[in-house]
Structure 1
């Protein structure tokens, strides 16, 4: 098993367990509410009519479902992409529960190889997912596709982790971070600003975060500089 396969296997175990043990929009995990920045973008669209939204790495619908609720009366669509069967299975359940099953289209795919059509989307969301593509080159290619796939006046909302560290809380041992693309914050920002040169910057926040996750029944402290970057195509 190579490094990427190892990381993806561990991430699959973590997310499968999370989706099984925690419910969407119920306190107890990071699934309990959507990302505020994502929802704050929606009022920027004057009319939520015929909106087409792409959610890359949608998970169980933490952001997709609230977006779908906001645009469903305007004949909108949310295209939801994820690699995990567990995510898409739960998303299907939740989309029925929240009466947005007609608004959400799901597709199982690796976002690193997913083809984004040019000038197709009003709003593209990628929350804590771009750092999980297979390489730095693929990371750049995906962002370039996101930019090309956005309509005039469309918005891209990215939240991406940088400088990720993992520490075993039982031994205080520093571990190799299980992140496919783990760049310095400066390099990550340089790549983003290069691709989105000429776009209007709506929001840029770099926030140090740390939280505990469980890997193989062991508590792990995960530390990161989380980059929130929202840009509008001029």
Structure 2
């Protein structure tokens, strides 16, 4: 099995377990609440309707369900893309439970191959998903598609991990981090900045993160620098965050 297939097999195992054992918006996991920067990005376009939103790597709806609730009475739609059957199935269930099924559109697809229509979306969200494309070159292509797929005055909100480490807790042994694209923080920021030349940077910050996961039934500490990067196309009114 090649490295990318192995990584995706392990990630599927991790996410399937999480989706089976934690309910959306239940305390005790990262599914507890939406990402603040994502919801702030939607609020930045308050007054504009309808809103078309693309959520790349939507999972079970941690962000897309609250977004759909926010725009429900304003028209628009939230297109949710994910590769995992378990994510799509749960997202459909949750969209019915939270009464936003008519706003949510699901597409089972690999972000590597997913085609974003030009000037289709007011907001494009990618939370902990772009580092899972299969190569650095594909990351650049997807970022370019995101810019091309955003309407004038639109927003892209990216949360992406960098400098990822995996350390076995019992032995303190470092393992090869199971992440498809694992760049230094500076290099990742340079890549984002170069892709969004001419856009207004609304929010850019780096936050260290660490949490425990399981690999081969052994506790492992995963550490990374999480980059938040929110940009607004062709707008001078971006000082609300």
Normalised by the length of structure 2, the TM-score is 0.96
Query: 2:223 aligns to what?
Result: 223
What corresponds to 1:137 in structure 2? 137
The DSSP-based 3-state class of the residue aligned with 1:31 is coil
5+ long unaligned stretches in structure 1: none
Partner of 1:180: 180
Is 1:43 aligned to residue 38 of structure 2?
A: no
The alpha-carbon deviation at position 50 of structure 1 amounts to 1.5
2:9 alignment partner in structure 1: 9
Say if 1:7 and 1:180, in contact at 8 Å, map to a contact too: yes
Whether 1:96 aligns to 2:96 is yes
In 1, Cα distance between the equivalents of 2:48 and 2:200?
A: 20
Partner of 1:194: 194
Check the 8 A contact 1:48/1:71 in 2, yes or no.
Answer: no
3-state SS of paired residue (2:118): coil
User: For residues 7-86 of structure 1, what are the structure 2 equivalents within 5 Å?
Assistant: 7-86=7-86
Instruction: Give the structure 2 partner of residue 161 of structure 1.
Output: 161
TM-score between both structures, scaled by the size of structure 1: 0.99
Distance across 2 between alignment mates of 1:97 and 1:215: 33
Match of 2:150 in 1: 150
- Unpaired runs of 5+ in structure 2? 235-241
**Partner Cα distance (1:137, 1:221) in 2:** 28
Residue 115 (str. 1) matches residue 115 (str. 2) = yes
After superposition, the C-alpha distances for 1:1-35 in whole angstroms (9 at most, x for unaligned) are: 00000000000000000000011001011001110
Q: Separation in 2 of the partners of 1:178 and 1:26?
A: 27
Distance 2:91 2:82 in 1: 10
Distance 1:48 1:89, change over 3 A: farther
Three-state SS of the structure 1 residue aligned to 2:43 is helix
